[in-house]
Amino acid sequence: MGVPIAHLIPGGEPFSSPSPYHTIASARRSAFGRPSHLPPLQIRPAIEVKVGVSLRPAVSSVFRESGSMSQCYEFELQVAVKAVRLAARLCQRVQRRLLSNETQAKVDKSPVTVADYGSQALVSWALERTLPQGSFSLVAEEDADELRQEKGAWMLDRITDLVNETIATDGSHDIAPLTREDVLAAIDRGKSEGGSSGRHWVLDPIDGTLGFLRGDQYAVALGLLDEGEVVLGILACPNLPLTSISRESLPGDPVGCLFSARKGAGTTVQSLDGLTAAKRVYVSTVDNPAEAIFCESYESAHSMQELTAKIADILGVRAPSVRIDSQAKYGALARGDAAIYLRFPHPGYREKIWDHAAGSVVIKEAGGIVVDGAGKPLDFSKGRFLDLDHGIIATNQNLMPFLLKAVHSALKESNL
């Protein structure tokens, strides 16, 4: 019997190595500065750009030629963190005052909120205006088709208001308010197909929509693909407590976690508001399956929970499963709160890349492994969908051999 949980913890080290994007960061500081309560970013100049010369292409080419892995994707990480924090503020505001008419059904009958659209609009807008010109490609969950219809006019007005309120409250963007067309365009930038060539940002504006509507766990999940590989991931988990799921959360416990990972630099966690320093985190070192804690989807419609129960039984896991909405599960594993994540969607379902891109790199950079049910690495280079062999599993290196054997046995017994 699974135990639903609506909360989780952090840890990590701040990034402070120099960025070759100093010139862009300086030139655009007024348009995308840090909140006043945060310390200034420690970014040192790497190149000089003459006045009147286009900044974006020059910086992009220099970055590609930069040397050490410790500096790779640092600028992108800083930009992504700011964008995701901005979106998370909008989501928190909406969830606090959630109204019944702020939810509408999409064509596929899954709920979508104004926060979904608003979050995507903010992340898209923030990234596009800060990254090198011509380099921005976004693969995201939502599109603005329904908002362009007459019945979506009221919702579009509401989204536009929320986006502008969030930007104004942030206080670091001296710009004119966005128009309805600006918001529609920002949302529709997410229509990229991704692929194996170039860079593509991958966004789930609210991962765990049902959890969001219940007032439980959700995440704003943003990843970056470079030549088909996930090289960066951010998970903003506004309702995730700063204490481990291995202990019961108490009233008044602080909540709100931000997980950050970039290739070769590890995974960190800090408070979502940025008031606590980031700390490195690592996956659990448990090597006895019987002692492992495992996570799975909160909703039975999202995963075959009878199958995951069978896998746990084969492994001899003693503790009940911990059921959590969204990619917050990846964050829980990354900081060692749990040791195993099992996801086996019902037959016919195709996984989307935005549901796993950010979370997978957060696990990987924390020392863990994320593969499909056959033990193959997840391939994010094929477009908007993941082609998998029976589900997704994540754990540490010690447990993976046991887990793959148990998965194989359970699938065979279930004729899958």
> Which positions are catalytic?
116, 209
Q: Determine the Cα–Cα distance for residues 294 and 183; give it in Å rounded to an integer.
A: 40
Say if CB 23 and CB 48 are below 8 A apart. Answer: yes
Percent helix, percent strand, percent coil in the chain, to nearest 5? 35, 20, 45
Neighbours of 68 (CB within 10 A): 9
> What does the block give as tokens for 339?
């040791």
Nearest-angstrom CA–CA distance, 332 and 252: 20
Residue type, 397: Q
For 321, residues 6+ apart whose C-beta sits below 8 A from its C-beta are: 2, 3, 294, 295, 296, 305, 308, 309, 312
- What tokens does 72 get? 């790779």
For residues 267 and 280, what is the distance between their CA atoms, to the nearest angstrom? Answer: 6
Phi–psi pair at 95, nearest 5 degrees: -65, -35
Q: Do the Cβ atoms of 241 and 7 come closer than 8 Å?
A: yes
Both tokens assigned to 362: 């957060």
| Residue that is written with structure tokens 């030629």 in the block | 65
Between 74-96 and 114-128, two packed helices, what is the crossing angle to 10 degrees?
160
HSE at residue 392, side-chain half, CA atoms within 13 A, is 30
How many angstroms separate the CA atoms of 243 and 81, rounded?
Answer: 21
Using alpha carbons only, how large is the chain's radius of gyration in Å?
A: 21
The SS3 call for residue 23 is helix
Are the C-beta atoms of residues 329 and 359 closer than 8 Å to each other? yes
Q: Please report how the helices 153-170 and 180-188 are oriented relative to each other, as an axis angle in degrees rounded to 10.
A: 90
- Characterize 255-282 residue by residue with b for buried, 16 or more Cβ atoms within 10 angstroms of its Cβ, and e for exposed: bbbbbbbbbebbbbbbbbbbebebeebb
